[in-house]
Amino acid sequence: MYTNIYIMIWKNFSVNAGMNIAETKKDNSPDVRRPIFPFTAIVGQEEMKLSLILNVIDPKIGGVMIMGDRGTGKSTAVRALVDLLPDILVVSDDPFNSDPEDPDNMSDGVREKIQNNEPLLTHTKKIPMIDLPLGATEDRVCGTIDLEKALTEGVKAFEPGLLAQANRGILYVDEVNLLDDHLVDHFILIGSGNPEEGELRPQLLDRFGLHAQIGTVQDPELRVQIVEQRATFDASPLVFRQKYHKQQEQLTHLLYSARDRLKTIQLDTDLRIKISQVCATLHIDGLRGDIVTNRAAKALTCLEERQHVTPEDIFRVLPLCLRHRLRKDPLETIDSGEKVRETFQKIFG
């Protein structure tokens, strides 16, 4: 069931399901969610914001590890990103957020109803973001047998876990460097961490498509701007959000169109060869680095509304794609990206 869970699945947002759906409704329950800080209002941290946006445009990039000091807005940025994304159509009373139009994103129960020509009740909901607790056990993450039904009704039933709730959405782990290693073998995720609390082993780092390094802003004027923004938001969040409404809408539309154009982007063969030469020169294990760099460069080209990937696009995404794949010694710190950039200059000229 979980082989098709990505960080963000952004497709098939049409409300016209067309597959024996009897009724589609809007979830009209009162919105009691705490107002979210606007993504477009975040000052600085360009590497983190770009990494998140590239994953929205192409979820197959495989997520992002955001590593930086505490208090640098890591969790704020992830939650702000979710706020940009559109509602999705789901099958009502289905714990897996099944898409009524896409067989690859349906639970077995929904498929059976469609095969039996049973009507499906659907509604729209915000793309889910699920926080994974550090103490979560494997059965809490993946699901387990429903013991209550087994004991009271004598039937076998599956009780879905956190992965089911995060299906077609985002699974977020704060302080992922403190997470049990074996749990990450079950999913692709967005994680953040503080290097002071311990590094991740190289095998775990390689599971993240991109690696964003962020730090505390040192420019006094920017620090003042950030503090003032936060104070204004806390004092009147709805008024603050309205101030950025236009920018939020523009970015949402840009992400929509970039996602639609992704398959049309051209990456010339000679550039693909040079990307692989960089990876080989840096002794990157496996082919994940090559694949992610290709995808990230195309996603960046989409974001900037162009059709052909350029060497400059590759230069911008290479550190994000490769810096965390250089580590051979678990005690070695992650390269800032200089080694990657130097190798790019040698290969690309």
In CATH, what number is assigned to the domain containing residue 135? 3.40.50.300
In a shared domain, residues 259 and 272: no
Instruction: Write out pLDDT tens, residues 133-160.
Output: 777 766 777 777 666 666 677 666 667 7
Q: How far apart are CA 144 and CA 158, in angstroms?
A: 6
Catalytic residue among 140, 230, 272, 288: 288
In a shared domain, residues 61 and 128: yes
288 catalytic, yes or no? yes
| Percentage of the chain exceeding pLDDT 90 | 30
Structure tokens at 193: 């961490």
Structure tokens at 199: 């590094």
**Which of 90-99, 132-141, 193-202 is predicted least confidently?**
193-202
Show the domain range for 318: 265-349
In a shared domain, residues 189 and 295: no
- 274 pLDDT tier (thresholds 50, 70, 90): very high
Number of domains composing the chain: 2
In a shared domain, residues 163 and 284: no
Last residue of a domain, one of 264, 291, 314: 264
Last residue of a domain, one of 248, 264, 280: 264
In a shared domain, residues 208 and 314: no
pTM higher than 0.85: no
Cβ pair 48, 96 in contact under 8 A? no
Sort strands 170-174 and 190-193 into parallel, antiparallel or unpaired.
parallel
Q: How far apart are CA 341 and CA 329, in angstroms?
A: 21
In a shared domain, residues 280 and 151: no
For the cut 50, the answer to whether the pLDDT of residue 7 exceeds it is no
In a shared domain, residues 213 and 270: no
Instruction: Write out pLDDT tens, residues 37-47.
Output: 999 998 888 88
Which pLDDT value is given to residue 295?
96
Which pLDDT value is given to residue 247?
94
